[in-house]
Amino acid sequence: MTEAAPSPQPQVERRVLSVLVDNAPGVLMRVVALFRRRGINIHSLAVSVTEDPGVSRITMTVECPAALAESVVKQVRRVVEVRRVRDVTDAPRTERELALVKVNAPGGVRSEILEAAQVFRARPVDLTEKTVTLEVTGSPEKIDAFLSLVARHGVREVARTGAVVLLRGSAAT
């Protein structure tokens, strides 16, 4: 079957999506399945209930061409339990992520790590003879920067929440 030669791949970019859904079983799967179907990798995913206990917010970051994201967003809108979808990538927004970072911290370097942590306003939340666990909050870029800073000490484990986003000002996300 003579298929057409593939056209040049459009630019892959990070898209940030905010989805309001009914707080009910299976809804996340419906939303996520639409991205899986197109082979889009979900880079981060944060889901929790909102100010209304009947409504949850899914914040996801995906990596794909903008047009593809738009096409999937329209399909997400068809899901019955989905109340609102916004691609907020290009909107003025507040974006935060929280990470727990467990770093090797033997006596000799511990103070150096804690000093670096201060610059990033990372808080130590657990301390052992060999490790320190730091809680750092900020934009995903800031967390990336912090991780690369402490990398040389040996990062044992990282748990990141994924980005959460609200639009700036009085606009509803």
- Of residues 36-65, those binding other proteins (CB under 8 A): 37
Strands 41-49 and 55-64, bridge-based pairing: antiparallel
Would you say 30 or 142 has its CB closer to other proteins? 30
Q: How far apart are CA 59 and CA 151, in angstroms?
A: 27
Q: Is 171 in the site for other proteins (CB under 8 A)?
A: no
Q: Is 84 in the site for other proteins (CB under 8 A)?
A: no
Q: Is 29 in the site for other proteins (CB under 8 A)?
A: yes
**Binding residue for other proteins (CB under 8 A) from 53, 78, 108, 129?**
78
Q: How far apart are CA 52 and CA 33, in angstroms?
A: 25
Q: Is 26 in the site for other proteins (CB under 8 A)?
A: yes
Question: Minimal CA–CA distance to 77: which of 19, 23, 32, 16?
Answer: 19
Rounded to the nearest 10 degrees, how much is the dihedral formed by the CA atoms of 90, 36, 79, 87? 0
Q: Is 30 in the site for other proteins (CB under 8 A)?
A: yes
- Residue 3, Ramachandran bin (φ over 0: left; ψ between -120 and 50: alpha; else beta): beta
Considering the complex, what minimum distance in angstroms separates the CB of residue 46 from other proteins? 22
Q: Which residues bind other proteins (CB under 8 A)?
A: 1-4, 7, 26, 29-30, 33, 37, 70-71, 74-75, 77-80
